[in-house]
Amino acid sequence: MENKVRIQDNLYEAVNGEWLKNAVIPDDRPTTGGFAVLDEEVEKLLMNDFDLFSKGELATDIKEMDYAISLYKKVLDEKRRNEEGIKPALPLLEKIQGIKTIADLNKLAKDFLLHNIDLPFNMGVDVDMKDATKYSFIILGPGIILPDTQYYKDEATYNQLIGIYSQMAMNALAKCPLTEEDKQKYLADTLAYDKLIANSVKSQLEWADYVNNYNPMPLEEVCEMVKPFDFKGLLSSLFDKVPETIIVYDPRAIKEFNLYFNETNLELFKHWLYVKELLGASQALSIELASNATLFRRALMGVAKEPTLQKQAYQVASRYFSEPIGYYYGKKYFGEEAKKDVVNLVKKIIETYKDRMRKNTFLEEATKEKAILKLSTIEIKMGYPDSIREFYSTLVVNEEDNYFDAVSKLNVLKVKENLDRLYQKVDRSEWVMPGHMVNACYNPSSNDITFPAAILQKPFYSIHQSVYENLGGIGAVIGHEISHAFDNNGAHFDENGNIANWWSEKDFQAFKELTNDMIKQWDGIPFHGSQVNGELVVSENIADNGGMAVTIAIMHTLENPDFQAYFKNWARVWCLKAKEEYIQLLLKNDVHSPAELRANIQVRNFDEWYEAFDVKETDQMFIAKDKRIVIW
């Protein structure tokens, strides 16, 4: 007992330490614990069902599941995939090689866009942030090889990661009908072009402030910026009515377009595109090529092995048919009793949140009323949707198609479905997460919260857990998602999901000061040889803080509340064992704080933590009262 960690010194370690010592991270995953364990269990369950479906030993009346099973079988068809090798992708690669001028690319632009093949900038249709009832056409810069622009500024890290990427690319290029000299040149040009792009695109920190994505520009102005690419010609080929306004998500990348795309560097672009599409296509080619194409991603996350072929087949089917599979999972495995219980808990949390808003000390009455209106109009999406969108019935997988052709056709259908939305009304009943996903979210554009069926399990929730444990688990997660409506991003959206200023200047300034306090509380915390970036993770920390505040308030309404059970389950939810490479990846790129710190830091902001475990000034889990932050 002498060696046991005291809960007053490290809540996370005291609750999870023994489990963490013995936990083994699966070879094909970067993590285990909390969310990951549930995800593994759901995956095993559905993989077993898919295996039975494929053998004809299990049936379903959900027609869209039949298409998912057809795709699943194509992934498993090793013989055909290996016999065909790289051949299915050669027509695409030859088409890219045939580009001699920008005029050639302009002629191919529509076909490339529909087939999800990269163009000099990315584009699509998304909900308009200032009018969430409609869609707008959006553009942003091209994607870079490394996870973030900051990697390009660290020579040692850059060389290490690009070395792995280069080996992967050369392994794939070895299968192509190119000379050895061309293979080397294609790779060198790819890396050179990637560096050009990285100078202009947003960093992960910039993307974290997503309200700044909304930059409407007249079409003609955008067309001038992206010349000689024929943007207007592309839009005219896609739509009867060309949009007059374009929402530019990454203005710097578009304004600096000619720095990385022009007649002079067209060959760089072409070779970059060739390598990028070769690696992208490899997933649906031979087993050897598909395995090779995972090397870079696995190195980033510290994953030793790729998943079994059966697991890959399930994951591909799940990626293309997420909604039908989530619907199937919810119908078969989700209890209505649990759904009813959690919906009631959500309603209770919302009402408690309203009460806390009324008692808020830094908001004026008019701002409070707007915040309460926003809370009153939050829509709850619990478990899984009532039906599958009609779109999925169009995703027919033809029996005669090989794996590559099947996914190529599915990509076209998915891109078309996105583009066809442009002049449609936004359907707010649509779910952004499928029922079998172990996660939850708040959508600022529709002011709704989604809790897929798969997360409504222990340790997050169980009808067999105490109410105190459920409040520390799913209750705090629910409060977290609701709090996103009032984080540094969500605060800019009104109850209808539109960017709107519903704050007084004085109130918003007070909120910004509290936000800055939260940034300072987290910024620079040492973790695994690196540091937390307080600005990158602030939105999620505000949400954690709000989720804990509102559920602690509910705890006080209960008879003899067990705060020890509450805080212990809060720590249990964030239990995580991860590969070191993955920890470093998250520290640089993830808007969420490290799980261990989420468990240990937030609790210190609340007096109930100190009372529950008699935490004193001499304990490591103590912070002075004047340093404690509660925003909502």
β pairing state of 577-578 and 31-32: antiparallel
From 277, 544, 590, 596, active-site residue: 544
Q: What is the mean pLDDT of residues 219-248?
A: 98
> 1 pLDDT exceeds 60?
no
Q: Are 197 and 260 in contact (CB under 8 A)?
A: yes
In the structure encoding, which two tokens stand for residue 55, read together? Answer: 């053998």
Q: Report CA dihedral (18, 13, 39, 337) to the nearest 10 degrees.
A: 90
Tally of helices (H runs) and strands (E runs) in the chain: 29, 11
Catalytic residue list contains 481: yes
Q: Are 238 and 231 in contact (CB under 8 A)?
A: no
Q: pLDDT at position 321, please?
A: 98
Q: What is the mean pLDDT of residues 117-126?
A: 98
Q: Are 602 and 545 in contact (CB under 8 A)?
A: yes
DSSP 507: H
Starting from the edge strand earliest in sequence, which strands make up the sheet with 216-218, in order? 122-127, 135-140, 245-248, 216-218
Q: Which residue has the higher pLDDT, 34 or 86?
A: 86
- Residue 512: which of 474, 473, 538 has the closest Cα? 538
**Any bridge partners for residue 382, and if so which?**
451
> 2 pLDDT exceeds 50?
no
Q: Which domains does the chain have, with CATH numbers?
A: 11-43+321-413+423-627 (3.40.390.10), 100-284 (1.10.1380.10)
Report the share of the chain in percent with pLDDT over 70: 100
Q: pLDDT at position 338, please?
A: 85
Q: What is the mean pLDDT of residues 265-292?
A: 98
Q: Are 518 and 605 in contact (CB under 8 A)?
A: no
Euclidean distance between CA atoms 467 and 370, whole angstroms: 31
CB atoms < 10 A from the CB of 523, how many? Answer: 16
- Residue 485: which of 496, 471, 470 has the closest Cα? 496
Distance linking the first and last C-alpha atoms of the chain: 39
From 481, 540, 590, 596, active-site residue: 481
In the structure encoding, which two tokens stand for residue 174, read together? Answer: 């070895």
Euclidean distance between CA atoms 573 and 270, whole angstroms: 47
544 burial type by CB count under 10 A (0-12 exposed, 13-18 middle, 19+ buried): buried
Q: pLDDT at position 3, please?
A: 52
- Residue 281: which of 441, 500, 115, 439 has the closest Cα? 115
Where are any strands of DSSP class E within 166-311?
216-218, 245-248
CB atoms < 10 A from the CB of 202, how many? Answer: 20
Catalytic residue list contains 250: no
Euclidean distance between CA atoms 147 and 584, whole angstroms: 11
Distance of CA 313 to the CA centre of its chain: 21
Q: Tokens 């009943």 correspond to what residue?
A: 429
Q: Are 436 and 325 in contact (CB under 8 A)?
A: yes
Euclidean distance between CA atoms 5 and 159, whole angstroms: 40
Residue type, 549: A
Euclidean distance between CA atoms 54 and 81, whole angstroms: 18
Euclidean distance between CA atoms 157 and 141, whole angstroms: 23
In the structure encoding, which two tokens stand for residue 247, read together? Answer: 């929402």
Length of the chain: 632
pLDDT in tens, 166-204: 999 999 999 999 999 999 999 999 999 999 999 999 999
Q: What is the mean pLDDT of residues 249-261?
A: 98
Report the share of the chain in percent with pLDDT over 90: 98
Q: pLDDT at position 382, please?
A: 96
Give the ranges where 293-401 is alpha helix by DSSP (H): 295-301, 309-320, 322-333, 336-358, 365-376
Q: What is the mean pLDDT of residues 434-458?
A: 97
- Residue 533: which of 568, 491, 584 has the closest Cα? 584
Cβ-proximal residues to 29 (8 Å cutoff; 6+ apart), any chain? 36, 40, 303
- The pTM of this model reads 0.95
pLDDT in tens, 288-315: 999 999 999 999 999 999 999 999 999 9
Mean pLDDT over the full length of the chain: 97
CB atoms < 10 A from the CB of 435, how many? Answer: 29
Euclidean distance between CA atoms 535 and 538, whole angstroms: 5
pLDDT in tens, 514-542: 999 999 999 999 999 999 999 999 999 99
Residue type, 404: F
Cβ-proximal residues to 624 (8 Å cutoff; 6+ apart), any chain? none
